[in-house]
Structure 1
Amino acid sequence: MNLDFKIKNLLLICLIFLGVFNQYYSQTPHKNDFKTGADQPELYLPLLKGKTVGVVTNQTGLMKDRTHVVDFLVKNGITIKSIFAPEHGFRGDADAGEKVKNGVDIKTGIPIVSLYGNNKKPKPEQLKDIDIVVFDIQDVGVRFYTYISTLTYLMEAGAENKVEIMVLDRPNPHDGYTDGPVLKKKWTSFVGMHEVPVVYGLTIGEYGKMVNGEKWLRNGVQAKYTLIPMKNYHKNQRYHMLDKPSPNLPNDKAINLYPSLCFFEGTQVSVGRGTDLPFQIYGSPWTVGLPYQFTPKPNFGAKDPFLNGKLCYGENLSAYSEDLRTLNLEWVIKAYQHYKNPQQDFFLKNLWFDTLSGTDELRKQIIAGKSMKEIKSSWKSDLENFEKIRTKYVVYEN
């Protein structure tokens, strides 16, 4: 009798648990229900019908079935006057910093206008007769990744020339947290246009809303801005990317390590450009105490890589298991401590490290021997102030 009673109780508990689980599961959005802005044409096609359109995109402007958004728009009778190509080009095959040329898309015959090099902001004549520009690029949510700067210049040109800007939103692989030094105005550049931290915790669509709402465009102008939001997107989830966002961010691991390792670009240390593991390794000929060895050589993603042909000593982080949701400075600090080269300083003379950091304070803190904990605590106040701005423009739940 006692055993039967226990079994009945156990069954009752199981039934209650299943009921609660089913209720939760039926009400919780799942990754299978997730859609990017591009995958919801019912939201944007009616807004584009009968208009002359420009498109800012690259190889990442894909729909779920891998149809490119430009091909989809043409197929659906949308008149596209120009494709505007950001850093790395329309097909995403140009090196970082390499000149992106104007041309014609072979598949559609649509003219391609470069938005890199000397023409980062569309000129009035390039927007002539265009009613609306659609922006669809997979960003990585890091301040020095230049697609948010391209969007800023586009919005500014749109505001000045009465051209609407529409953003088809995509996931941010560094969403749900903020970290890093907040940029100081003195260090404004194409790799940091606004006073935001290195990791700012907004999708590119939310970021555009913030730029517009805070009147950060030149002369305080505001663009006519339309956001096509994602469906069932959650900031703390991570989503598969249909294509690599640029040649040297080939996979999720490189993207995850990118905010922490990109500081090396301002030093005498390679981040693996010219190897099979870009942004997953680091090293230098002058850090011989570190265990991993590699030699950068020209390849698809780096025609003339930094430290080309030189044996480098460093670390291989490609098997680093942690999903970083924080900026990790231990590698930069460790490389600085191991660096021995009487001819050249660890930091490049052009102060590119400070430009990437958005401040000269981080470099000075590393030279002074500050710990990662001490450095990160110095960011606290600025991050709290930024959070007050950021929360005004959040569209999606955590």
Structure 2
Amino acid sequence: MLTHPAAITSDGRHAAHALLEADTDLRALFGPEHGVLGTAQAGETEAAATDSSTGLPVYDTYNHSVEHLSGMLAESRIDVLAVDLQNVGARFFTYESSLYDALAAAALVGVRVCVLDRPNPLGGRAVAGPVLEEAYASFVGRAPIPVRHGMTMAELGRLFAARLGVEAPDVVPLAGWNAAELFPATALPWVPPSPNLPTPISALIYPGTCFLEGTNVSVGRGTTTPFELVGAPWLDRGFAERLRAAAPAGLAGITVREAYATPAFDRYAGQQICGAQLHVTDPDAVDPLAVGVTVLCALRDGWLGRLRFRDEHFDLLAGSDGLRTALNRGSSAEEILESWRAPALRFAEVEREPYLLYPRDGEY
């Protein structure tokens, strides 16, 4: 099983324990980014070991080549790889790439893949953001899909398999999922799928504020409100004021608060940062991609001499150099968002349609 701590049953048991209690011949555990136990920070994983609660061997799959992964699968002597990963619905969240690579690796050694599906926390209806260009494929985006794709992991697995030219995964489907609703409507327990997404609200904003990981601005890692807090030592209270002015259009469903913090780790660790906390007051009204672009434009317009892009990383997150180029030439948030609408709509209505497992109704 390729899994992590968020793979739980509705009564809180981990899926691996549930399978063992059902007398399944579970042979090994495979860990993605953050590890099987979920103790590793961003860009890290847990070392291969033996899982203390099940006695099963643990293989570390994070950011390994397909050839390396296929070797692990062969070594584990399994017939089926069950994939149970609670995703967050954003293209650059690496569990999607782990699934993509697992499908490719399993095909090399004749192992079947079965996805144990889970709800997309952002719902399955809204699709938004830039579509990845193939030249920018990486571990933060393998396939040409929008940032907010509105697909479950099983649906993504079917799309990825078609793209790879391998057999589609088996699926244990969701029962009763309403694609129009966000995660809290499921009434299921929220287990952080990574250490810095502690709540469904942080996961809701993540697809927009994560772009700032490709800049010299903190997204609040090392604080209690990651991805809801944006700041830097060189910002001032004018940043929150500028965001408030933009709120009616780009920050629907959000109240902006001037905020200060001292991150315990990650960017600006031990330094006081000034910025803004994005308080979600109406989750259904929030467009995380509009939030991200609005924040980036505010930073550019007020602090052009201080804002810095980590060009390569920013472009990999965005899926091309288009967003960075648009920001540098002074495009407005509205112009940037409008440029993404037609490609995202085509993906929603045409490209993903053959792989959907659950009904979608309403506007994209």
| TM-score after normalising by structure 1 | 0.79
Q: Distance in 2 between matches of 1:286 and 1:337?
A: 14
1:124 aligns to 2:68 (yes or no) = no
Any runs of at least 4 consecutive aligned residues in structure 1 with deviations exceeding 6 A, and if so which?
none
**What secondary structure sits across from 2:86 in the alignment?**
coil
Q: 1:297 aligns with which of 263, 280, 286?
A: 263
In the alignment, what sits opposite 1:139? 87
In the alignment, what sits opposite 2:247? none
**What secondary structure sits across from 1:379 in the alignment?**
helix
1:356 aligns to 2:317 (yes or no) = yes
1:394 aligns to 2:356 (yes or no) = yes
Shift of 1:93: 1.5
Shift of 1:79: 1.6
Paired residue type of 1:351? E
Q: 1:210 aligns with which of 137, 142, 159?
A: 159
**What secondary structure sits across from 2:128 in the alignment?**
coil
Q: Distance in 1 between matches of 2:299 and 2:334?
A: 17
Unaligned runs of 5+ in 2: 241-257
Q: Distance in 2 between matches of 1:237 and 1:254?
A: 16
1:168 aligns to 2:129 (yes or no) = no
* Matched-pair contact (CA < 8 Å) for 1:62–1:242: no
Paired residue type of 1:104? T
Q: 1:358 to 1:58 in 2, by over 3 A?
A: same
Aligned residue pairs, count: 331
In the alignment, what sits opposite 1:43? none
Shift of 1:372: 1.5
Q: 1:326 to 1:107 in 2, by over 3 A?
A: closer
Q: Distance in 2 between matches of 1:261 and 1:125?
A: 35
Q: Distance in 2 between matches of 1:256 and 1:162?
A: 37
Q: 2:342 aligns with which of 345, 356, 381?
A: 381
Q: 1:63 aligns with which of 2, 5, 9?
A: 9
Q: Deviations over 1:220-251 (max 9, x none)?
A: 3x135101111111110223443111110000
In the alignment, what sits opposite 1:90? 36
Q: Deviations over 1:321-373 (max 9, x none)?
A: 3432452121121122222546xx5212x421111000101011112221121
Q: 2:60 aligns with which of 103, 108, 114?
A: 114
Shift of 1:392: 1.3
Q: 1:263 aligns with which of 211, 214, 233?
A: 211
* Matched-pair contact (CA < 8 Å) for 1:254–1:278: yes
Unaligned runs of 5+ in 1: 1-54, 299-303
1:201 aligns to 2:150 (yes or no) = yes
1:190 aligns to 2:139 (yes or no) = yes
Q: Larger radius of gyration, structure 1 or 2?
A: 1
Q: Deviations over 1:281-321 (max 9, x none)?
A: 101122223243423332xxxxx311112222211113443
1:73 aligns to 2:19 (yes or no) = yes
RMSD: 1.8
Q: Distance in 2 between matches of 1:340 and 1:314?
A: 16
Q: Distance in 1 between matches of 2:159 and 2:168?
A: 13
Q: Distance in 1 between matches of 2:280 and 2:340?
A: 29
Q: 1:247 aligns with which of 192, 195, 216?
A: 195
* Matched-pair contact (CA < 8 Å) for 2:32–2:45: no
Q: Distance in 1 between matches of 2:288 and 2:233?
A: 28
Q: Distance in 2 between matches of 1:356 and 1:210?
A: 20
* Matched-pair contact (CA < 8 Å) for 1:133–1:163: yes
1:279 aligns to 2:227 (yes or no) = yes
Q: Distance in 1 between matches of 2:125 and 2:282?
A: 19
| TM-score after normalising by structure 2 | 0.86
1:367 aligns to 2:309 (yes or no) = no
| % same residue | 32
Shift of 1:138: 0.6
* Matched-pair contact (CA < 8 Å) for 1:287–1:312: yes
